[in-house]
């Protein structure tokens, strides 16, 4: 989300005089600091009415997005909604307030309260529940005066079902090409004890049961049992639920910084990023891999199913034996005909450059903003022609 925001803000600066509203921290990006104005939610008395547009970039992490959620409810504008299920965001924002249960009832009714009590009766911490899809909690945002931009037809349809009168639109996730050097592959292999000639398969982002890392582990294990040239599977990201499913051909990196993340994308031969069940989210990590020309295997579900058929391989069965069998077949093909996968990666890079560029996404955002403002003329738009806090 932070990487996405940085890319998007740079693009919007070509068209707007941008003020960046942030939490109580200092921007580490020196280039960005010189390009935008900065106000802080916690310190500054923000004059929201002075801006032509207010654009909120919202994910599902209450520690980092809670203040943005509160601001968009109080000062409506346009929300870029990255997840349809925002259970963690809403619960984290309200759970320590006296109105918590009243808010849950307001958003999701008595059924919402029943689900919350069900989570608690199982001694689950509310922010660690395993099935947030049972309680999306998107209703308050959709009932607000905000316009909503989604990244997928799937999330757009879910929002329209809940709020048929809401002003909704769709934009692509912006491409953020990796800058990792391929030369770093050798250093990474030595660090993690992986042979130089190994085939590297990787998954990127938080390691979690919904990412089906355990399914990939089993598919890699079965493939390696009958193959001389072993595949090594590297999971790049925080989380370790899958540790008991691993063998000597699998690695968990834990959290890595942006530079090492990019280096791993450059080093990996094949990316497997699965997701089930979906929270209606879009994978920024997968977008980066596709932009880098990496062949990718995804789950044929939600946003992933909407990707062009010739730039990814889609696994039809979301989990269990069907998914394992589908992955086994793909891994066998990958080891036997790697050129086919390289060509798929090249097509992906071309599509991302053509259709997911920051300029295209910014122009789509601008069109959506102006369609919602009859008092402003798009003809007046020029470089730094208007001001919008992002």
Query: In sequence order, what are the residues at sequence separation of 6 or more whose Cβ sits closer than 8 angstroms to the Cβ of residue 349?
Result: 290, 291, 292, 293
pTM for the model stands at 0.90
Please give the structure tokens belonging to residue 320: 């269990």
Q: For each of the domains in the chain, give its residue range(s) and CATH number, in order of start.
A: 2-86+138-174+357-389 (no CATH), 184-355 (3.40.50.2000)
For 16, other C-beta atoms within 10 Å of its C-beta total 27
Query: Is there a contact between 153 and 173 (Cβ–Cβ < 8 Å)?
Result: no
Segment 48-57 mean pLDDT = 95
Torsion, CA 70, CA 75, CA 80, CA 86, rounded to 10: 30
Q: In the prediction, which pLDDT does 376 show?
A: 63
Distance between CA atoms of residues 332 and 330, nearest Å: 5
Q: Of 351, 357, 364, whose CA–CA distance to 309 is shortest?
A: 351
Q: In the prediction, which pLDDT does 228 show?
A: 84
322-345 pLDDT, tens per residue? Answer: 999 999 999 999 999 999 999 999
Q: In the prediction, which pLDDT does 390 show?
A: 57
First to last CA, the chain: 13
Average pLDDT, the chain: 91
Q: How far is CA 125 from CA 67, 122, 360, in A?
A: 22, 9, 41
Query: Is there a contact between 253 and 177 (Cβ–Cβ < 8 Å)?
Result: no
Distance between CA atoms of residues 343 and 157, nearest Å: 33
Segment 4-23 mean pLDDT = 92
Q: In the prediction, which pLDDT does 226 show?
A: 83
Please give the structure tokens belonging to residue 142: 């959709």
Distance between CA atoms of residues 299 and 7, nearest Å: 26
Distance between CA atoms of residues 114 and 388, nearest Å: 41
Q: Of 202, 209, 280, 205, whose CA–CA distance to 243 is shortest?
A: 209
350-380 pLDDT, tens per residue? Answer: 999 999 999 999 999 999 999 977 766 555 5
Distance between CA atoms of residues 373 and 207, nearest Å: 42
Please give the structure tokens belonging to residue 16: 């707007």
The DSSP bridge pattern shows strands 16-22 and 231-236 to be unpaired
152-195 pLDDT, tens per residue? Answer: 999 999 999 999 999 999 999 998 766 666 678 999 999 999 99
254-305 pLDDT, tens per residue? Answer: 999 988 999 999 999 999 999 999 999 999 999 999 999 999 999 999 999 9
CA triple 99-104-109, angle to 5 deg:
130
* Alpha-carbon dihedral sign for residues 151, 155, 157, 160: negative
Segment 233-240 mean pLDDT = 96
Segments in the chain forming alpha helices (H): 2-12, 30-35, 62-74, 87-94, 100-121, 139-143, 153-162, 184-191, 213-225, 258-267, 284-291, 302-305, 320-336, 338-355, 358-371
Distance between CA atoms of residues 295 and 316, nearest Å: 17
């Amino acid at each position: 989300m932070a990487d996405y925001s940085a890319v998007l803000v740079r693009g919007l600066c070509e068209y707007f005089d941008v003020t960046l509203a942030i939490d109580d921290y200092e921007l580490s990006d020196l280039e960005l600091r010189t390009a935008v104005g900065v106000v802080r939610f916690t310190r500054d008395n923000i004059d929201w009415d002075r801006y032509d547009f207010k654009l909120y970039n919202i994910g599902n992490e209450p520690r980092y997005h809670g203040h943005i959620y509160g601001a968009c409810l109080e000062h409506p504008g346009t929300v870029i909604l990255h997840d349809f299920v925002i259970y963690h965001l809403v619960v984290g924002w309200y759970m320590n307030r006296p109105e918590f249960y009243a808010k849950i009832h307001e958003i999701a009714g008595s059924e919402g309260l029943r689900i919350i009590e069900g989570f608690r009766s199982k001694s689950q911490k509310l922010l660690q529940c395993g099935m947030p899809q049972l309680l999306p909690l998107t209703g308050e945002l959709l009932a607000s005066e905000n316009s909503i931009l989604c990244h997928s037809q799937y999330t757009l349809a879910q929002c329209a079902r809940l709020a048929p009168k809401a002003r909704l639109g769709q934009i692509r996730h912006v491409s953020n090409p990796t800058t990792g050097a391929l030369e770093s592959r050798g250093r990474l292999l030595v660090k993690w004890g992986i042979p130089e000639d190994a085939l590297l398969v990787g998954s990127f982002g938080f390691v979690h049961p919904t990412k089906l890392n355990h399914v990939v582990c089993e598919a890699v294990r079965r493939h390696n049992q009958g193959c001389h040239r072993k595949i090594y599977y590297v999971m790049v990201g925080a989380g370790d639920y899958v540790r008991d499913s691993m063998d000597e051909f699998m690695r968990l990196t834990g959290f890595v910084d942006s530079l090492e993340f990019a280096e791993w994308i450059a080093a990996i031969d094949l990316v497997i990023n699965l997701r089930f069940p979906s929270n209606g989210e879009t994978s920024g990590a997968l977008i980066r891999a596709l932009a880098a020309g990496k062949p990718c295997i995804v789950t044929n579900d939600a946003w992933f199913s909407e990707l062009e058929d010739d730039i990814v391989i889609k696994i039809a069965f979301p989990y269990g034996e069907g998914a394992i069998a589908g992955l086994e077949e793909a891994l066998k093909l990958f080891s036997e005909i790697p050129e086919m996968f390289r060509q798929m990666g090249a097509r992906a890079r071309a599509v991302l450059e053509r259709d997911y560029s920051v300029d295209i996404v910014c122009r789509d955002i601008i069109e959506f903003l102006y369609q919602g403002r009859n008092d402003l003329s798009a003809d007046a738009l020029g470089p730094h022609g208007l001001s919008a806090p992002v």
